[in-house]
Structure 1
């Protein structure tokens, strides 16, 4: 694609990250937080201003929209681009103040609201590829929200470019923005029949040029520990604190099965939250691996440790509840190789060397693939997500927009 575009992705991104959209895994509502709809309403307004008349925010906080086809070919498959609007509950996401560091030259980036938060090239190797680019960070006290508002902004800019440039021939393009991806519920309420797409791409990956066709499989586990409570003044020989039992169980978790002790295709067991009191304590875990069978093995590690620890507390007991979250999408995508091949070609046409990768995480595409909509994951340019050092470059976001536009053209060409 040789034409020049007046990109709007950076301006959109800087606006979107200021809207607090953190999801809440403890909430029973859908979406888990109503504030996610604030971004959804803005997106609908912007889409309608582009001329996309069917843009809507449904009761569950899901945004649907259609870029109408402009091709004469009758059988171009409908494809979808998807990103999630929520940000992680793992780090403060309120009052985000984005900062654009223009013409980055390799220096340390000290974030002004907390000067102890510093981005260093030695700790963020992809910064080596950003010399001369414009880096966006938060101010040091919050996450940035590039995961996944970079993807949202990229899809929105691509939709804008398609509406402004009818010379880009394409079939019907569906847009999907979801809530609650960060807590594993991103597509729980997505209506695939209403969406009506044959293939989809999440825009939720890291380094420019990367496409992911394989993710972790994931379970969540809740370990409920029942202790014995008594008045602390008369506790000798009576109290068996569920909190202390929980601490012993966590201390027994093997380092080689932890996120900080694994890499590549190695899975892990990770305690993400602890709550309780003397009588009852709860440890919430996430369990991850690329092989489904190993999820069962990892859950058994938790069960075995709890059984061993609890033997020292004869009045105490426990129960372990395991719930499936999402599964590796590779098995589905291997049945539709052209979807991945088109993605790699789109990246190449945008001037990058494509890299096919596995991701130590999950996306809405994991769930979508398993429920009938094959969906690999394309880079959004987001880095160091879920923390105060999160960053993205303007130029990488622009490359993602080009990749989306190329995909629209490729699907039309191949029809």
Structure 2
């Protein structure tokens, strides 16, 4: 793999602004995602991919035909085009830091923005490597343009080295993953793969096939406004009631106090006045039974408070968002085993752990396309301190090539 060539490709992607918009119901949620989609279509054609398509929903798909004289399963690789709306992705100015020496990296001298291993300890794992950052005023977009880079580079490598044997490979780049819609219009039947991998994890070695069960909850508290000078026995302050509701949920079951398989309730929005307060929560748990109990617990708190208040002042609306892909992957566990074997053969220690979040692969698994998640190499996603070692992108690219080889070997007659 030519690392300089891969860096150039990655930079060509991250300098295209593809930030998605959680408040726009359109699909995709931003027009600028088409810019990278169209660029990718042309590049895939140039490197020799076939069946290159860009549909009306901004999904890019392409095929690398088998070079075998026997049948093996068709596998797929998936990454997303958009970047997170949590931090601006406009006018990304990548900086390349060669032979990183383990010291502070000054991202922006004028604004005193520093990427320091004293705070981000993972940096020290990459001493001697080439670190790609921004100038500190934007995110980088390694989530998930590193994944796109790896997939395109792996396909190019396989095309340029036909002696490497592989079955049919399908690839797809999706829009709007960062706003939870990446798989909503994914055409699994058209994709035609037996299984796939999302290249959307973080540090080298990550291999994930478990994620949260997820729901969103909207709690509306209705109050009554009365002149405060004459409010005794008449005013109902919805904000006070909302505070009581918040305090009845377990104080330690929040994101900042949980890890691993521990679930949580996360209050991410609060808008209130005396007459009306709206709380927005997300509910998360890896265990399906505990997940259901969390939803029941929230409903019960609302029912108990309404009974105490003597009026139906609290309205609760809960909607499931996605489920743990483990249920769909475990019956075909060989797809995880193949990725694990390839990593070990390439000297990479597999880090098999649950995702404390969601991924396109979760929804795709429930749509009939089992889809574990593999590392893309980046760190500190969704913010100014995001970085990716170029060597990690190369390693992920090699894993894709290795999986293609391994499937060809595993399913040989």
TM-score (norm 2): 0.91
SS at match of 2:209: strand
Report if aligned partners of 2:3, 2:391 keep a CA contact under 8 Å in 1.
no
Deviation digits for residues 310-348 of structure 1 (CA, Å, limit 9, x no counterpart): 789777823222111111112222111211111012212
Match of 2:221 among 215, 225, 233: 225
Residue 409 and residue 247 in structure 1: after superposition, are their counterparts in 2 closer, same or farther (change >3 A)?
same
Native 8 Å contact 2:302 2:316 kept in 1: no
Q: How much does 1:246 deviate?
A: 4.3
Moved more, 294-303 or 394-403: 294-303
Q: Which of 138, 141, 152 is residue 137 of structure 2 equivalent to?
A: 141
Distance 1:201 1:281, change over 3 A: same
Residue 332 of structure 1 corresponds to 328
Alpha-carbon separation, structure 2, partners of 1:201 and 1:326: 18
Secondary structure of 2:215's counterpart equals: strand
Please say if 1:60 is aligned against 2:33. Answer: no
Give the aligned CA root-mean-square deviation in angstroms.
Answer: 2.5
Map of 1:342 onto structure 2: 338
User: Is the CA contact (8 Å cut-off) linking 2:108 and 2:114 kept in structure 1?
Assistant: no
Bigger mean CA deviation after superposition, 200-209 or 117-126:
117-126
Q: Give the distance between the partners of 1:28 and 1:234, measured in 2 at CA.
A: 44
Change (3 A) 1:170 1:108: same
Residues 24-68 of structure 1, C-alpha deviation per residue, up to 9 Å, x if partnerless?
223222222222222211111111121224222211121111112
Aligned residue for 2:14?
17
1:210 Cα deviation from its structure 2 partner: 2.0
> CA deviation digits over 1:238-273, x for unaligned, max 9?
654545654554466543111100011101111223
* Cα drift, residue 150 of structure 1: 1.1
Q: Cα deviation per residue 1:145-179 (whole Å; 9 max; x = unaligned)?
A: 21111111111111221222212211111001111
Q: 1:16 to 1:5 in 2, by over 3 A?
A: closer
- Take 2:307 and 2:90, find their aligned partners in 1: how far apart are those partners? 44
| Counterpart for residue 162 of structure 1 | 158
Is 2:413 the partner of 1:414?
no
1:280-313: CA deviation from partner (whole Å, max 9, x where unpaired): 4432222111111222222344445556677897
Consecutive unaligned residues in structure 2, runs of 5 or more:
none
Secondary structure at the counterpart of residue 54 of structure 1: strand
Q: Distance in 1 between matches of 2:168 and 2:41?
A: 18
Q: Distance in 1 between matches of 2:114 and 2:246?
A: 31
Pair 1:189 & 2:185 matched: yes
The answer on whether the counterparts of 2:207 and 2:352 sit within 8 Å (CA) in structure 1 is yes
1:255 aligns with 2:251: yes
- Cα separation, partners in 2 of 1:149 and 1:245, compared to 1, 3 Å: farther
Greater shift, 399-408 or 153-162, is seen at: 153-162
Once residues 233 and 383 of structure 2 are traced to their aligned partners in structure 1, the CA distance between those partners, rounded to angstroms, is 44
1:100 is paired with a residue whose SS is strand
CA distance in 1, matches of 2:173, 2:220: 35
Alignment of 1:207-222 (within 5 A): 207-222=203-218
Structure 1 alignment gaps of length 5 or more = none
Q: Aligned residue for 2:43? A: 46
Q: Cα–Cα, structure 1 residues 22 and 274, in superposed 2: closer, same or farther, change >3 Å? A: farther
Tell me the equivalent position of 1:382: 378
With over 3 angstroms needed to count, the CA separation of the structure-2 counterparts of 1:230 and 1:372, relative to structure 1, is: same
Taking the aligned partners of 2:230 and 2:46, their CA distance within structure 1 comes to: 69
d(CA) in 1 for partners of 2:310, 2:138 = 44
DSSP-derived class of the 1:274 partner: strand
Structure-1 separation of matches of 2:238 and 2:179:
26
